[in-house]
Amino acid sequence: MSPGPSDVDTSKLRLGMVGGGPGAFIGAVHRAALAMDGRFQLVAGAFSADPQKSQAMGRELGLDPLRVYGSEEEMAAGEAALSENRRIHAVCIVTPNALHFEQAQRFLEAGFDVICDKPLTTSLADAETLATLVESTGRVFCLTHNYSGYPMVEQARALVASGELGSLRKVYVEYLQGWLGEPIEASGQKQAAWRTDPQQAGACGAMGDIGTHAHHLVEHVMGSPMTSLFASLDTFVEGRALDDDGMVLFRLANGASGSLVASQVCTGQENRLTLKVFGSEGGLEWRQEHPNDLAVFWKDRPSETWRPGNSWTTSRALEMTRLPSGHPEGYLEAFANHYRAFAAALDGKPLEAPTVHDGVRGLRFLNAVVQSARDRGWVALSP
Amino acid sequence: MSPGPSDVDTSKLRLGMVGGGPGAFIGAVHRAALAMDGRFQLVAGAFSADPQKSQAMGRELGLDPLRVYGSEEEMAAGEAALSENRRIHAVCIVTPNALHFEQAQRFLEAGFDVICDKPLTTSLADAETLATLVESTGRVFCLTHNYSGYPMVEQARALVASGELGSLRKVYVEYLQGWLGEPIEASGQKQAAWRTDPQQAGACGAMGDIGTHAHHLVEHVMGSPMTSLFASLDTFVEGRALDDDGMVLFRLANGASGSLVASQVCTGQENRLTLKVFGSEGGLEWRQEHPNDLAVFWKDRPSETWRPGNSWTTSRALEMTRLPSGHPEGYLEAFANHYRAFAAALDGKPLEAPTVHDGVRGLRFLNAVVQSARDRGWVALSP
Amino acid sequence: MSPGPSDVDTSKLRLGMVGGGPGAFIGAVHRAALAMDGRFQLVAGAFSADPQKSQAMGRELGLDPLRVYGSEEEMAAGEAALSENRRIHAVCIVTPNALHFEQAQRFLEAGFDVICDKPLTTSLADAETLATLVESTGRVFCLTHNYSGYPMVEQARALVASGELGSLRKVYVEYLQGWLGEPIEASGQKQAAWRTDPQQAGACGAMGDIGTHAHHLVEHVMGSPMTSLFASLDTFVEGRALDDDGMVLFRLANGASGSLVASQVCTGQENRLTLKVFGSEGGLEWRQEHPNDLAVFWKDRPSETWRPGNSWTTSRALEMTRLPSGHPEGYLEAFANHYRAFAAALDGKPLEAPTVHDGVRGLRFLNAVVQSARDRGWVALSP
Amino acid sequence: MSPGPSDVDTSKLRLGMVGGGPGAFIGAVHRAALAMDGRFQLVAGAFSADPQKSQAMGRELGLDPLRVYGSEEEMAAGEAALSENRRIHAVCIVTPNALHFEQAQRFLEAGFDVICDKPLTTSLADAETLATLVESTGRVFCLTHNYSGYPMVEQARALVASGELGSLRKVYVEYLQGWLGEPIEASGQKQAAWRTDPQQAGACGAMGDIGTHAHHLVEHVMGSPMTSLFASLDTFVEGRALDDDGMVLFRLANGASGSLVASQVCTGQENRLTLKVFGSEGGLEWRQEHPNDLAVFWKDRPSETWRPGNSWTTSRALEMTRLPSGHPEGYLEAFANHYRAFAAALDGKPLEAPTVHDGVRGLRFLNAVVQSARDRGWVALSP
Structure confidence by residue, pLDDT tens digits, C7-23:
666 678 999 999 999 88
Number of A/D CB contacts below 8 angstroms equals 129
CA distance linking residue C138 with residue C356, whole number of Å: 12
Count of CB atoms within 10 A of residue C153's CB? 24
**Mean pLDDT within C141-163:** 98
Provide the pLDDT confidence category of residue C1 given band limits of 50, 70 and 90: very low
CA distance linking residue C106 with residue C72, whole number of Å: 8
Q: Identify the weakest region by mean pLDDT among A4-13, B204-213, C223-232.
A: A4-13
**Nearest-neighbour CA in chain D from C14: distance (Å):** 12
Find the largest Cα–Cα distance for chain B: 65
Number of C/D CB contacts below 8 angstroms equals 132
Is B36 in Cβ contact with A36 (below 8 Å)? yes
Peptide bond connecting D119 to the previous residue in cis, omega within 30 degrees of 0: yes
pLDDT digits (tens, 9 = 90+) for B109-124: 999 999 999 999 999 9
Sheet bearing D13-19, strands edge to edge: D40-46, D13-19, D90-94, D113-116, D141-143
Contacts of A261 in chain D (CB under 8 A): 172, 259
What percentage of chain B exceeds 90 in pLDDT?
92
pTM over 0.80: yes
- Which pLDDT belongs to residue A136? 97
- Which pLDDT belongs to residue D7? 62
Respond yes or no on whether ipTM tops 0.90: yes
Is B306 in Cβ contact with D300 (below 8 Å)? no
Cα torsion D159, D163, D166, D167 to 10°: value is 110
Residue A221 has pLDDT above 80, yes or no: yes
Is A304 in Cβ contact with C312 (below 8 Å)? no
Residue C103 sits at the vertex; the CA angle it makes with C101 and C108, to the nearest 5 degrees, is 95
Task: Give the mean pLDDT of chain C.
Answer: 95
- Which pLDDT belongs to residue C6? 60
- Which pLDDT belongs to residue C375? 97
| Residue C284 C-beta-side C-alpha neighbours within 13 Å | 26
Helix (H) or strand (E) holding B366: helix B356-375
Residue A235, φ and ψ in degrees, nearest 5: -125, 110
Given a contact cutoff of 8 angstroms between Cβ atoms, the answer to whether C284 and C277 are in contact is yes
Which residue of C267, C332, C342, C347 is the best one to mutate when testing the D interface, meaning the one whose CB has the most D CBs within 10 A?
C332
Residue B79 sits at the vertex; the CA angle it makes with B76 and B83, to the nearest 5 degrees, is 145
Given a contact cutoff of 8 angstroms between Cβ atoms, the answer to whether B232 and C249 are in contact is yes
CA distance linking residue C87 with residue C77, whole number of Å: 11
Is C282 in Cβ contact with B266 (below 8 Å)? no
Between B302, B306, B311, which is nearest D306 by CB?
B302
Three-state secondary structure call for residue D119: coil
pLDDT digits (tens, 9 = 90+) for B217-274: 999 999 999 999 999 999 999 999 999 999 999 999 999 999 999 999 999 999 999 9
Residue B291 has pLDDT above 60, yes or no: yes
Instruction: Report chain B's C-alpha Rg in angstroms.
Output: 21
Sheet bearing A113-116, strands edge to edge: A40-46, A13-19, A90-94, A113-116, A141-143
**Nearest-neighbour CA in chain A from C251: distance (Å):** 28
Given a contact cutoff of 8 angstroms between Cβ atoms, the answer to whether B19 and B93 are in contact is yes
Is D32 in Cβ contact with C12 (below 8 Å)? no
List of residues 6+ apart from A148 with CB closer than 8 A: A154, A157, A216, A217, A220, A338, A353, A354
What percentage of chain A exceeds 90 in pLDDT?
92
Contacts of D1 in chain C (CB under 8 A): 13, 347
Question: A49: buried, middle or exposed (CB in 10 Å: 19+, 13-18, 0-12)?
Answer: middle
Residue B1 has pLDDT above 50, yes or no: no
- Which pLDDT belongs to residue D3? 41
Per-residue pLDDT of chain D (383 residues; tens, 9 = 90+): 334 456 666 678 999 999 999 878 899 999 999 989 889 999 999 999 999 999 999 999 989 999 999 999 999 999 999 999 999 999 999 999 999 999 999 999 999 999 999 999 999 999 999 999 999 999 999 999 999 999 999 999 999 999 999 999 999 999 999 999 999 999 989 889 999 999 999 999 999 999 999 999 999 999 999 999 999 999 999 999 999 999 999 999 999 999 999 999 999 999 999 999 999 999 999 999 999 999 999 999 999 999 999 999 999 999 999 999 999 999 999 999 999 999 999 999 999 999 999 999 999 999 999 999 999 999 999 87
Is A300 in Cβ contact with C305 (below 8 Å)? no
Between C245, C258, C377, which is nearest B170 by CB?
C245
Between A174, A299, A377, which is nearest D376 by CB?
A377
Give the residue from chain C lying closest to A304, CA to CA. C304
CA distance linking residue D214 with residue B56, whole number of Å: 63
**Mean pLDDT within A272-283:** 98
| Residue B291 C-beta-side C-alpha neighbours within 13 Å | 31
